[in-house]
Each structure stands twice: as C-alpha cells, then as structure tokens.
Amino acid sequence: MDAHRQAYREEAYELLAELESSLLELEETPEDMELIGRVFRAMHTIKGSGAMFGFEDIATFTHEVETVFDLVRNGKMTVTRDLVNLTLRARDLIKGMLDASEGGDVVEGREAAAVIAGLKRLVPPPEIGDPLPAKQVTATDGEQAAGGAVTYRIRFRPVPEVTVNGTNPLLLLAELRQLGECRAVAQLANVPELEELNPESCHVYWDVILTTGRGIDAIKDVFIFIEDDCELKIDVIDDGGILDTDADYKKLGIILAERGDLTRQDMEAILAKQKRFGELLVEQGIVHPEKVESALVEQQHVKEVRKERQAQESASSIRVPAEKLDLLVNLVGELVTVQARLSQTATGRGDALLVSIAEEVERLTNELRDTALNIRMLPIGTTFSKFKRLVRDLSVELGKDIEMTTDGAETELDKTVIEKLNDPLVHLIRNSIDHGIEQPDRRLAAGKPRQGTVHLAAVHSGDSVLITITDDGAGLDREAIRAKGIERGIIPATAELSDKEIYNLIFAPGFSTARTVTSVSGRGVGMDVVKKAIDALRGTIDLTSERGKGTTITIKLPLTLAIIESLLVKIGDDCFVLPLSIVEECVELTREDVKNAHGRNLANVRDQIVPYVPLRERFMVKGEAPEIEQIVITQVGGGRVGFVVDHVIGEHQTVIKSLGKMYKDVKGLSGATILGDGSVALILDIPHLVREVELEQAVR
C-alpha cells in the first residue's frame, strides 16, 4: 500500500497546484462555471482518493470545503474574495497534511477548524420550500428545469486490477446511495471457478438504478478519480416529466438491448425465422437498399474511429518517477562518452568498416540523447503559476494593487533547471513588488494606472531559454546606486560608468539602497545570491531600467544541465572545457601583442579593448607557452572577457560529471568530463573566474 500512498501524494500535489491556479483565475472571473467545476473536481478527487489510501484527516477536512463549493456549483452561493481566501488557506492546510505524512510539521487542528468555521459563515441559510440545490441544467442532463428527480441507469464495470490499485468499489456504491433512491445489482457472470480465481482481482460489475435530483454531474463526480480504470455508462431512463396514460415501461428485450446484454448473434438465434431488420425494410419497400447500406457503413465507420481514438487516448501518457529519468539521462551520458571513444579509435585505425559503424553509432546516440533530454523537458508554466499566488498575497500585505501577467508558459526547460530556478525567481519577483512598483496613490500622481503590473515571460533562443521579469514601477535610481557604490568602496568617486555598469553594482554582496527594512527584501538585498544561483546554472543575468518607467531583468539559461555543447581547449598537456553558449569568438595572441600591451592583460580586437585572463599563469601550468596563443572571448555579465589558452581543439559534446566532495572548494571549476581517449578534461566556471580576477584587482 505504501506505493499506492506515494502515488496518491504525487497526484494530490499536482491537484493542489491545479486548485491554486484555478482559484486565482476564479477570483478574476467568479461567474466561470468551468473554473468552479475544476475546483470542485480537484477537491472531490483529493477527498475520495484520500479516504481510500488512509489519509482520513485530508478526506474529512476536504469534504467540508467540497460541500461549500457544491453549493457554488449548484447556484446557491456566489464566489467572493473571502471564499477564495479561505479556500486558498484550506489548500495550504491540505498541502501541510500531505507534508506531515512524510515527516513534515503536523497541521494544528484549530487551524483547520478555523477555516471550516469561516467557510460555514459564508453559507447562506436554506430557502423555505427549496430543499434541493438549484442547478442550471441542459437538455443533455435529462432533467426538468424545475428540479424534478431523474432516474438513471448506470453500468459500472471496473478493471480487474482496481482493488490492487487501492480502490474499493463498494465505497463508490455507498456514495451513490447518498445521492437518492438507489438499487444496485452485482453481475457475477465473469467470476471464474475457484481454482482459477485471483483473490486480488475484481471480477464483479454492477448495474445501478438511481433516482436523484442532483443531476448527472453529481453521478460522474462519484467516479471522477477512477474514470480511467473503469467502464462507466450513464443513461437517463426516466426524465421526471409528466407520465403518459400508459405507464408501462419498456419490454424486457428492449432493456437488454439498450444495456448491451443482448447481442445481435443472440437475437438471430432466438429470432431465426425472422430476417435482419434492414432486409425487412428493403423487402417491404420502406427504405431503399442503398440507404440501408449507407447507414451500416456509417455505423461501422464511427465504431472504428471511436475505437482507434480510445486506443490513442489510453496510451497517450504514462507517469514515470523522476529518479528513473535521471538514471536514463546518466546512462545516455555514459553512452555518449563511449561513442566518442569508439569514433576516435575508428579514426585512428583507419578501418573504413569500423569508421562506418562508428558513424552509425554516433547518429543513433545523438538521437537517443535528444530523446532522453526531451523527456525531461517540462513547460515552465508549472513554475509561473506558483508566482500568481505570491504576487496576490504580497500585494495584499503591502497594500498595493498588482497584476501578474505571463507569456510563453509553454516554453520547455529541463526539470532540474526549473527546480533550481524557483528560488531566484521568487526573490526577483518579491523585489519587483516591494521596491519596484509604487503605492497606488503615488502611481496615480505620476500619471500611471492605479494597478501595477509584473510581467513574466519565457522564450527559446537557440540552445538557451530567455526569462524576463518586467515591472512598470519606479525603476532604479542610478545616482543612489552610484553613491552607495562609492560609499562602500566598490567604485572610485571619479569612475565614469555606463548605466549597465552602474546597475550591475546591485549584484555586489550585501548591496542595498533601501532606507527602511521591510518583511520583503528590497531591490538589491541578496541579489548577489540570485546571481550566484544563476551562475551555478551556467546562466547569465542582465538588468535594464528606466527611471519612472520600470525595470527588466533578463535571465539566459541552458536548456539542460546534463549534456552541453562546449569548446575544448588545451594548455600544456591538460584539456579544459568552456560552455559554448557564452563563447563569442577565438582570436590569436602573439608575443608582439603581449609586448605592445606593456604588461597589461588587454587585447585589441578590431579596435575594441578586451581584457583577458592568461589561464596558463592562473592555473600554474608548467612549461613554455607557444609562440602564438589563442584568446577565447566570452560574454560574461554584460561585458567581454577573454581567456588565453595554448590551442583551441574545437567543439565537443560534454557530459558533465561532478568533481566530488573532496574538490568542492576548488575555485574556477564547475565539473569535469571524460574525453574520447579516456582522459579527463575540467570544465571552467567562467563567471567565477571573472569574479575572482575582479576581486584581486580591487584589492590591488
């Protein structure tokens, strides 16, 4: 059962995320019945599955919230801000109960009781003469608008594995009985002989006759969390209308035929002397033969189409644990390394057949690599939706009116990158809300709309993803940032810096221009932590701002952290790797160029001065440098920085390996990779190397 409980937890966390998103949308469009239905179904599924898998506290608490939304769904209550607030709080408590089941803090009973009490205060008193909830019905519901009781025929046939999956069908039947007058008949025809009976399988199915005024949606909701594991058929057999003078019901044969219990073969055996229905129609001249043929073709065609669609839908997706995907990517990484060794060996031997095999293996490996990495791709919208709640709660706390808009939620990114990106984005959005967007009265005085906007967008750019956080607030104060930089000794008072260089000062450790301390970080507080987190993802962060208009922060990230395209270089006998995404170009550095720089590490590249870091000197590699070295020019922090190496070997597909705990404090390296000949190449941490050099120069 532990495996089933874990599966429930995973499903419940997904449903809670969907519930939060639906509630935030519902707050903006409280009349949207589709959103109300989504909220109700999410809570109904959490409740029903929770009861089956032993989460009684969750089931009991969620039932209370579900009951209130059942009134909303049936038109007895309206959606208000108070209702949304309490339901969001209930969602947080349900999540807390789930966390507690895995060793988290226990949710206090008085918190749940307070939420339930608050919800009950919102429930209007029942109207006299209207015991049943009012409901907007359609013709497909088979109900009268007056709310009369309708009788349904239900065939519920669960799959044999239903009990193994942790579901008890008898509990579902008990829930049906709560909807109205109900009669259930167990069908035992499929129960095998005792010798063949599997006690863990369910061989029984049920025919149920139910009379209720709750509507067909209430019936479907009973089976909502098992709909993929059962065959469910619901038919209206009495719509509650005025009876005819002849109150006789359908004949037995018609009932069996409607249920599907009487096949065409059985009918032919019983009515052997009668001809087929179509043949009789043609013989008596009632319908032309071609019309009968056309109807039969239609019947067969629709059956085949529906069967094919059902097969496609049933196999559309499967749930796979993240650990298995990580293992798959690791194995693909090892395969990439072996493939590189195979290609190098084949080329070295000059065997045409071996080279041909190596090329085929390389093609297949590349396809397998791309497929494995794509499997781990998730739409970033799953992260975006979390921030709507953050913006909502913070704007209320700070007394501001702020709307969050998003774009590019379908943009896909590696799940590992998304997980590690969450905290930096939270920090940036909190700063935008706290110190970026002004109070409503100040915005109105500045000629702006009362409501501020935070816009979060994502878009693919080559092998990277660009994420932008834009606010229409006050923007950064250039002079205040410059003054604080001088005060802290980060820049000299005589320094002439561009706007970009000034704004980048906020990424210095502990840098802040905030005059007061609030519960939310001011713009700049902890921004060095954000930059370090982005650097750890091998990404870059850029910032632009216009005073009085707002600020835009752009984050550029690689699509995946497992396998990257890189540039392989050599210094002495050692190989190093630079991420290709930040490499701009490679130029030569001669002894004459070094002499003309008069001891400064500066290179003239097409009349532009580019500072460079001599890696041979920095890594204390022994031996003489070649007459002509290479400068690999990279884009770091909005500027260009070169790295001097002996030779540039070329592009390389790098499978990243961690250095291990023993080397966790080594500066300037982010990992290692294995080359085709079995040797190890170290991966350079370019942003960290640049920061180290800048700090050394500042000390001098």
pLDDT for position 27 = 87
- Look at 157 and 2; give whichever has higher pLDDT: 157
The pLDDT-based confidence of 241 (bands split at 50, 70, 90) is low
Joined together, the tokens standing for residue 333 give: 């990484």
Give the 3-state secondary structure of residue 17: helix
Rounded Cα distance, 332 and 325, in Å: 11
The pLDDT-based confidence of 136 (bands split at 50, 70, 90) is very low
Mean pLDDT across 177-193:
84
Rounded Cα distance, 501 and 481, in Å: 11
pLDDT for position 631 = 93
Does residue 259 have a pLDDT over 70? no
384's enclosing H/E stretch is helix 381-397
The pLDDT-based confidence of 256 (bands split at 50, 70, 90) is low
The DSSP result for 128-193, as a single string, is TT--SPP----GGGT--TT---EEEEEEEEE-GGGTTTT--HHHHHHHHHTTSEEEEEEE-TTPPP
Joined together, the tokens standing for residue 672 give: 């290692």
The pLDDT-based confidence of 142 (bands split at 50, 70, 90) is very low
Rounded Cα distance, 506 and 544, in Å: 12
pLDDT for position 140 = 37
Mean pLDDT across 533-552:
86
Mean pLDDT across 146-160:
79
Long-range contacts of 120-125 (CB under 8 A, 24+ apart): 120/68, 122/68, 122/77, 122/80, 122/82, 122/83, 122/86, 123/68, 123/71, 123/77, 124/76, 124/77
Rounded Cα distance, 213 and 148, in Å: 6
Q: Poorest-confidence range of 48-62, 145-159, 293-307, 464-478?
A: 293-307
212's enclosing H/E stretch is strand 205-212
Does residue 398 have a pLDDT over 80? yes
User: Shortest CA distance to 679 belongs to which of 534, 568, 529, 557?
Assistant: 568
Does residue 146 have a pLDDT over 60? no
The pLDDT-based confidence of 461 (bands split at 50, 70, 90) is confident
Question: What is the residue-averaged pLDDT of the chain?
Answer: 80
- The secondary structure of 561-627, three-state, reads CCEEEEEEEEECCEEEEEEHHHEEEEEEEEHHHHHHCCCCCEEEECCEEEEEEEHHHHCCCCCCCCC
Burial class (CB within 10 angstroms; exposed 0-12, middle 13-18, buried 19+) of 217: middle
Mean pLDDT across 111-133:
72
User: Shortest CA distance to 358 belongs to which of 377, 339, 333?
Assistant: 339
Strongest mean pLDDT among 308-312, 499-503, 561-565: 499-503
Does residue 630 have a pLDDT over 90? yes
Q: Poorest-confidence range of 265-274, 475-484, 549-558?
A: 265-274
Strand-pair partners of 453: 403
Is residue 529 within 8 Å of residue 544, measured between CB atoms?
A: no
Rounded Cα distance, 462 and 449, in Å: 36
The pLDDT-based confidence of 413 (bands split at 50, 70, 90) is confident
The pLDDT-based confidence of 492 (bands split at 50, 70, 90) is confident
Q: How far is CA 191 from CA 162, 163, 245, in A?
A: 15, 15, 42
Q: Poorest-confidence range of 26-35, 117-126, 266-275?
A: 266-275
Does residue 664 have a pLDDT over 50? yes
Residues shown for the chain: 700
pLDDT for position 270 = 62
The pLDDT-based confidence of 131 (bands split at 50, 70, 90) is very low
Mean pLDDT across 541-553:
89
pLDDT for position 514 = 59
Question: What is the tens place of the pLDDT at every residue in 18-42?
Answer: 889 889 888 888 888 888 888 888 8
pLDDT for position 699 = 59
pLDDT above 70 coverage of the chain, percent: 83
Give the 3-state secondary structure of residue 512: coil
Mean pLDDT across 347-368:
90
Rounded Cα distance, 295 and 9, in Å: 49
Is residue 488 within 8 Å of residue 401, measured between CB atoms?
A: no
Question: What is the tens place of the pLDDT at every residue in 317-338?
Answer: 677 777 888 888 888 888 888 8
The pLDDT-based confidence of 240 (bands split at 50, 70, 90) is low
Q: Poorest-confidence range of 70-74, 306-310, 409-413?
A: 306-310
Which amino acid type is present at position 242?
I
pLDDT for position 361 = 93
Give the 3-state secondary structure of residue 412: strand
pLDDT for position 250 = 58
Strongest mean pLDDT among 251-265, 270-284, 343-357, 493-507: 343-357
- Quote the DSSP letter at residue 663: G
Joined together, the tokens standing for residue 514 give: 């905030």
Mean pLDDT across 398-416:
87
Strongest mean pLDDT among 293-302, 462-471, 640-649, 667-676: 640-649
385-396 burial, b at 16+ Cβ within 10 Å, e below that, comes to: bebbbbbbebbe
Rounded Cα distance, 68 and 656, in Å: 52
Give the torsion sign (CA, 603, 609, 610, 613).
positive
Mean pLDDT across 134-149:
40
pLDDT for position 273 = 54
| Helix, strand, coil in percent for the chain, rounding step 5 | 45, 20, 30
Q: How far is CA 97 from CA 56, 89, 107, 118, 520, in A?
A: 10, 13, 6, 19, 27
**Cα dihedral 243/246/251/254 (nearest 10):** -50
Joined together, the tokens standing for residue 159 give: 């799959």
Does residue 606 have a pLDDT over 70? yes
pLDDT for position 307 = 65
pLDDT for position 148 = 59
Does residue 660 have a pLDDT over 80? no
Q: Poorest-confidence range of 112-126, 346-360, 444-458?
A: 112-126
Is residue 133 within 8 Å of residue 74, measured between CB atoms?
A: yes
The pLDDT-based confidence of 643 (bands split at 50, 70, 90) is very high
pLDDT for position 301 = 66
Q: Poorest-confidence range of 99-113, 186-200, 273-287, 466-480?
A: 273-287
- Look at 572 and 581; give whichever has higher pLDDT: 572
- Look at 482 and 653; give whichever has higher pLDDT: 482
Mean pLDDT across 222-247:
73
Q: How many CB atoms lie within 10 A of CB 149?
A: 17
- Strands in 583-590's sheet, in edge-to-edge order, are 583-590, 628-636, 639-645, 608-614, 602-605
Give the 3-state secondary structure of residue 262: coil
Is residue 594 within 8 Å of residue 608, measured between CB atoms?
A: no
pLDDT above 90 coverage of the chain, percent: 12
**Cα dihedral 379/383/388/389 (nearest 10):** 140
Residues 6+ apart with CB under 8 A from 599: none
Which amino acid type is present at position 133?
P
The pLDDT-based confidence of 587 (bands split at 50, 70, 90) is very high
